[in-house]
Amino acid sequence: MSTLAPARNLPPAVPASESGGQALGGGSHWWIYVLLAIGLILLVGPFIWMVLGSFKTTGELRQVPPTWWPQNPTLANYEDLFSRLNFLGYFFNSTVVAAAVTAGNVIFCSMMGYALAKLSFRGKKVLFGLVLGTLMVPGMVTFMPLFVLVANIGLVNTHAGLILPFLAGGFGVFLMRQFIGGIPDELLDAARVDGAGEHYIFWRIVMPLCGPAIATLTILTFLGSWNSFLWPLVVATSDTMYTLPVAIALFATGQQETNVALLMAGSVVVIMPVLLVFILLQRHFTQGIAMTGIK
Amino acid sequence: MTGRSDAVGAGSSASTAGQSPRRQELIAWSFAAPFLILFLVFMAGPILVAFVTSFTDFRVTDIRNPLAINFAGLDNYLDVLADPRFQKAAANTSVFVLVGVPLTIVLGLAAAVGLNQGVVKARALFRVGFYLPVVTSIVAIAVVWRLLLGTEVGLINGTLSIFGIDGPGWLSDQRYALWSVIAMAAWRNLGFLMVIFLAGLQTIPRDLYEAAKVDGAGAWQRFRSITLPLLRPTLLFAAVITGIGYVQFFEEVYVMTQGGPLNSTLSLALYAYSQFSFGNYGYTAAIAFVLFIAIAAVTYFQFRVLRTD
């Protein structure tokens, strides 16, 4: 799906408060730990199997009974990905697209959010309702007309074609409007009294105060773009423009279908950067929920 | 001095109230314009075009020749509804939503309540671990699951074979394929709901539980008469957002089964995509709007069932 499906590609995350370690039932129960530990193994196990598998040969992966630790660890799969196949290129494409889409959303959604929260103009309420309404529209509805549009302006199989349609989204506007709405008017009025123009106020006062919201928007947008599939699948028509998910999906369903060790290593390359960023920044992931007012 | 510029010195009485309403309006539009232009061109416009297209015979060959497109009335919609592949896709999508949403909610709620109920040690570890699958690319993790569930390489069947059990073709047998895909989706999304439920649980006052305990209510009773009712708005949100996502399930089946075997995992989104790749654009648009209506229906139904008033 596109970035329009929040449950799938735009996850807000872990709740902000760490203080919830309360034992409601009074004292911890060992069996809860056991159940949760089983759950943890089931949820994390496939990742460990994937990482370990990426160091195995296809022959070892096909062994019955299966092995857990690689018998003869090899880096051959990764060498294949980056030298024989074009994974460095796919990685570059994914990064460029995600970075541009993120920058666009942060800037354009913040500006729109400021206009909606703190400025007055005709049709403001209607526009905001319209933007929110499109959040419900499935990516399947827009992708065909978007493709026709992009084809007609000659952007098929270009970075611009991958980026432009997702440069500004309704979710970002919603998030930034909510956050900017919480900034006291007195602060802005004081600046206005001192003769500051609205653009000065926005860039020098409002944006610096939006740090947490921008962090949340950055993470969620980058993640959504990095993981997005349908649009790049349609627009990237040659090997030089594939993003990582497109490449791995096409390998898994086509030319490399039987090369399971390579598919494991490819999945590691798609998944691990995101996992590492998540583990490092999980505090920031946590702010999404509180900020969008989901309780 | 009426029409003065913004460049007034500090301490003057310049404020937005001092500027003409027209100028204020212009400034506001200068902030809104970049977003609105992108929004009109890449979101609102395409939605309108898709809607109009769904009543035409637009095909890929007409892409540079709009004059060749003919109005087709409701033909696309009638054809879609009469197509057995569409009916199969609609049935599969219904099962995916009707089973997948409650399953994911129950698992996510169990994890959240479990964590909230007395896990003090290693709380962060559990939370991060449960959330890991949510941040991963569906495509890449579906590749891993395809290998896990596979018949020759699969870890699961390989492990079962140690115990002398001949595991079924999880993805290649049409009796199991859809359930396997649903299980994978629940696996990936339960952490997302866990986090939402954890946030919801924090809003329930603790004294309620203390009071109920004093009155002799057991753990299950407290869950049923305090946690569940007070968590209703959160449950509604979780159901809506998961439902919207699941109605559109696509990547999972694109990678794991390509809709097979025998269309047993064909989803509405995958069906729409296949019609797009055949170049039947008008027809694709009609399927997309049926999908849209399905989302609206699922959301409406959930609001009816779970609304608090």
pLDDT of A26 over the 60 cut: no
Mean pLDDT of A267-273: 91
Closest by CA position to B257, among listed B166, B142, B167: B142
Q: Is the pLDDT of residue A237 over 60?
A: yes
Distances B182 to B93, B95, B146, B188 between C-alpha atoms, Å: 10, 9, 13, 10
Residues of chain B with pLDDT > 90: what percent?
45
- Residue B297 parent element (H or E): helix B281-306
Backbone angles phi, psi at A195, to 5 degrees: 90, 10
pLDDT for A17 equals 41
* Chain center to CA of B22: 42
In the predicted model, what is the mean pLDDT of residues A209-233? 91
User: Which of B10, B129, B254 is the closest to A194 by Cβ?
Assistant: B10
**Does residue A173 carry a pLDDT above 60?**
yes
The predicted structure's pLDDT at residue A269 = 93
Q: Is the pLDDT of residue B7 over 70?
A: no
Q: Which of residues 275-294 of B touch A (CB under 8 A)?
A: 276, 281, 284-285, 287-289, 291-292
Phi, psi angle pair for B269, to nearest 5°:
-65, -40
Helix axes B75-82, B281-306, angle to 10 degrees: 70
Nearest Cα neighbor of A214 from A253, A175, A157, A243 is A175
From chain B, pick out residues whose CB is under 8 angstroms from the CB of A139. 248
Joined tokens for residue B229:
């009712």
Q: How far apart are CA B77 and CA B201, in angstroms?
A: 44
CB contact under 8 A, A65 and B158: yes
pLDDT confidence band for A4 (50 / 70 / 90): very low
- Report the range of poorest mean pLDDT among A26-30, A54-58, A186-190, B272-276: A26-30
Instruction: Answer yes or no: is pLDDT of A7 > 60.
Output: no
Q: Give the residue from chain A lying closest to B107, CA to CA.
A: A39
Q: Do B284 and A263 touch (CB under 8 A)?
A: no
Q: What is the pLDDT of residue A12?
A: 44
The residue written with tokens 């696996």 in the block is B187
The question of ipTM being above 0.95 is answered as no
Q: How far apart are CA A145 and CA A133, in angstroms?
A: 19
Q: Shortest CB distance from B29 goes to which of A121, A248, A263?
A: A121
Give the model's confidence band at A172: pLDDT under 50 very low, under 70 low, under 90 confident, else very high: very high
The pLDDT of residue A288 is: 60
SS (H, E, C) B227-243: HHHHCHHHHHHHHHHHH
Return residues 59-118 of B near A (CB < 8 Å). Answer: 63-64, 110-111, 114-118
Mutation target vs B (from A1, A2, A3, A24; most B CBs, 10 A cutoff): A24
pLDDT score of A278: 83
For residue range B33-71, list pLDDT tens digits in order: 999 999 999 999 999 999 999 999 888 888 777 777 888
Tell me the two tokens of residue B215. 């009155």
Q: Do B27 and A198 touch (CB under 8 A)?
A: yes
The answer to whether A205 touches A188, Cβ cutoff 8 Å, is yes
Residues of chain A found within 8 Å of residue B121, distances taken between Cβ atoms: 28
Q: How far is B146 from chain A (nearest CA, A)?
A: 9
pLDDT at A292: 56
Over the stretch A113-145, which tens digit does the pLDDT of each residue have?
999 999 989 889 999 999 988 888 888 899 999
CB neighbour list of residue A35: distance below 8 Å, 6 or more residues apart: B110, B114
Nearest residue on chain B to A228, judged by CA atoms?
B137
pLDDT for B127: 86
Residue that the structure tokens 């995992």 belong to: B265
β-partners of residue B71 are B56
Tens-place pLDDT, residues B86-127? 999 999 999 999 999 999 999 999 999 988 876 777 788 888
Query: Does residue B5 have a pLDDT over 80?
Result: no
pLDDT per residue as tens digits for the range A57-86: 888 888 877 888 888 888 999 998 898 888
Decide if pLDDT at A150 tops 90: yes
pTM here is: 0.85
Q: How far apart are the first and last CA of chain B?
A: 56
Does the beta-carbon distance from B132 to A43 stay under 8 Å? yes
In angstroms, the separation between the Cα of residue B82 and the nearest Cα of chain A is 20
pLDDT at B10 over 50: no
Portion 199-218 of B in contact with A at CB < 8 A = 199-203, 206, 209, 213
Asked whether residue B3 carries a pLDDT value surpassing 90, the answer given is: no
How many beta-carbon pairs below 8 A join chains A and B? 360
Q: What is the predicted pLDDT for the residue at A60?
A: 86
Compute CA A104 distance to the chain's CA centroid, rounded to the nearest angstrom: 14
